[in-house]
Amino acid sequence: MLSPPIAPMLARPMPALPPAGRAPMLYQPKLDGFRVIVFVRDGAVYLQSRRGADLTGAFVDVAAGGVQFAGEDVVLDGELVVLGPEGRLDFGALQQRARRRGRTTTAAAVAHPAHVVVFDVLEHRGRSLLGRLQAERWELLVELFARRALRAPWTLISCTHDREQAAGWLEPVYASVGIEGVMIKTVGGVYRPGERTGAWSKVRAYDTTEALVAGVTGRPSAPTTLLLGRHGPGGRLCLVARTTPLAATDRALLGALLTPAGPGHPWQDVRFSASWGSREPLEFTPVEPEHAVEFRTDSAVDPARGGGPGRHRHPVRFLRLRTDMDPETL
Cα–Cα distance between 129 and 283 in angstroms, integer? Answer: 49
Q: Which of 205, 207, 202 is nearest to 170 (CA)?
A: 205
Q: What is the pLDDT of residues 259-309, one digit of tens each?
A: 999 888 999 888 888 776 667 888 999 999 999 999 988 878 887 766 678
Contact between 245 and 253 under an 8 Å Cβ cutoff? The reply is no
Which residues of the chain fall short of a pLDDT of 70?
Answer: 22, 276-278, 305-307
Beta bridge partners of 184: 27, 201
**Dihedrals φ, ψ of 197, to 5°?**
-105, 175
Contact between 289 and 302 under an 8 Å Cβ cutoff? The reply is no
Domains with residue ranges and CATH for the chain: 21-204 (3.30.470.30), 207-329 (2.40.50.140)
Residue type, 195: E
Under 8 Å CB-to-CB from 314, ≥6 apart: which residues? 276, 297, 298, 300
pLDDT for position 175: 83
Q: Residue 110's CB: how many other CB atoms inside 10 A?
A: 9
CA distance to 123, 124, 135, 232, 273, per residue, from 132 (Å): 10, 12, 8, 52, 44
pLDDT for position 130: 98
pLDDT for position 278: 67
pTM: 0.78
pLDDT for position 307: 67
User: Which helix or strand (DSSP H or E) is residue 209 part of?
Assistant: strand 206-219
Residue type, 23: A
Secondary structure (DSSP) of 241-279? EEBPPPPHHHHHHHHTT--B--TT-TTTT---BSSTT--
Residue type, 183: M
